[in-house]
Structure formats: C-alpha cells, structure tokens
Chains A and B, each alone.
Chain A
Amino acid sequence: MPTLDTVFGVHANALKLREQRMAVLASNIANASTPGYKARDIDFSSALKLAENGQSADGAMRYRTPLQPTLDGNTVELAIEQTAFAENALAYRSSLSFLQGRISTLSRALKGE
C-alpha cells in the first residue's frame, strides 16, 4: 500500500530543503555588506541523505571558501550567491512540476477519466 511519502518520492524532502537553502542564500545576499559575516550554504546531496534518515539539514551546513578574501572579513561573493540562488530556485520549480505531474496522475486515476 503506497503512502503519500512513497507517492511523492524524494520531492517532498527536496522541496523542503530547497526552501531552507533559499533562506540561507537569501541571508548571504542580505549580508553582502556586513563586515565579518561568513557566507554559508547547504550541501544539498548530504542534506537530502540526512533528511531521508529523519535528521535536520543543520549537519549539512558549510561555510563558503571565498575566492578573494576581503579586508573586512566578509566572505559573501555576490556573483556566486546569485548563481546559487538562481540554480536553487530552478531546482525548486522542477521539484514542483514533478509533484504537479504526480498529483494530476493521481487525481485522473481517482476520477476514472
């Protein structure tokens, strides 16, 4: 008997993690000019492994290594953060469309169309 977890597969966890990663990347962009701020990111594949075992994404949090360290100790590099944010938003959208497909399949089966 398939449960909702098996029906939606990895995408239920993926969507939650993508949302968390989006907040972390938004924090980096928000702190682009705060002296001493250390940029962070979630290592997505290890976060997904942790989520499958029911653990939080905190264990997959990493500090970013800057390409060019700045004098004020801030490690946010806007170009990197913006590309990561765009990539993450796209991955969120693809998880959404996978879920959408699964839901419409199910509802079509339920309606017997």
Chain B
Amino acid sequence: MAEKLSIFDISGRAMAAQLVRMNTSASNIANAGTVSGSESKAFRAMKPVFQTIVGEAGRATVEVTRIDTSTATPVKRNDPNHPLADEDGNVWEAAVDSTAEMIEMLEISRQYQNNVQVLATAKGLISETLRLGQ
C-alpha cells in the first residue's frame, strides 16, 4: 500500500536510517581489535539492510529492515601468552575491516548532510510560500 509521504517524511526517515547505519558502523569501529578465546565468540561486523518504502506519485523513502552480521571470519592468531588464549594458544581477532568502516562513516555523514540540506531547502520554500501576498 502506497503511503502519503511529505518531503519531511522522506528526508526525516532517511536521516533516521542513516543514523542507524552510523551507529552500527561506530559499534564495528569500537570493537575492531578486540580478541576472544573462541571463533564463535569473536566479534563480527554488523551491517544494516536498507529498503525502499514506496509512496504515492513517485515518492519514496528508506528504512532499515534488519541488521545483518558479516560473514567475514575472525582472524586466528597464535598468542600463547594472551590471557584469553585457548588450550592450543590461539585467540581470534574481531572480523572488522576498520579502513572500510572509516570510509563508510564518511559516506554516511555526507548522505546525512544531503538529507539535512534537502529538509532545510524545503522548509525555506514552504515558509516563503506561507508569506505569499503579505
């Protein structure tokens, strides 16, 4: 069912989705470099899944449907002196590509700014229209 979407809905919901993406990316960066005593317990990067919400008359916005865990495998490192090492002396490093996450952050912040700009322009034009004839 097509929703009635105003420009404020479109950009506002897109900003909310980008913020979820920013939060997952921040969690990934925060957990980069953490180690764990087993492969199953090691941290894996999280990725939000974006989906279009189709509205009436060509309008559309976006929402986060779920947050997936990355399929990348944690890196096994042999470090017998590590307090978390298992009986074979192995630890697992979080499966996070911090360079990719940093670039992701740049992209998120740019797209968030774009939506803010759209919102500001729309707001300005609407208030100018309200003053029409005064």
Q: CB within 8 Å of B: which residues of A?
A: 15, 20, 22-27, 29-37, 40, 42, 56-58, 61, 78, 82, 85, 89, 92-93, 96, 99-100, 103-104, 107
Contact = CB atoms under 8 A, between A and B. Distances in A.
Interface range, B side: 20 to 34
Interface in B1-22: 5-7, 10-11, 13-14, 18, 21
A34 B50 contact: yes
B61 A30 contact: yes
28 contacts: A15-B129, A20-B57, A20-B58, A22-B125, A23-B6, A23-B7, A23-B57, A23-B59, A24-B57, A29-B11, A29-B14, A29-B114, A29-B115, A29-B118, A30-B11, A30-B14, A30-B60, A30-B61, A31-B62, A33-B18, A35-B50, A36-B52, A40-B58, A56-B57, A78-B114, A85-B118, A89-B125, A96-B128
Contacts, number: 92
Given A29-B11, A33-B21, 14 more contacts: A23-B7, A23-B10, A24-B59, A27-B59, A29-B114, A29-B115, A30-B14, A30-B118, A31-B14, A58-B57, A58-B58, A92-B125, A96-B128, A100-B133
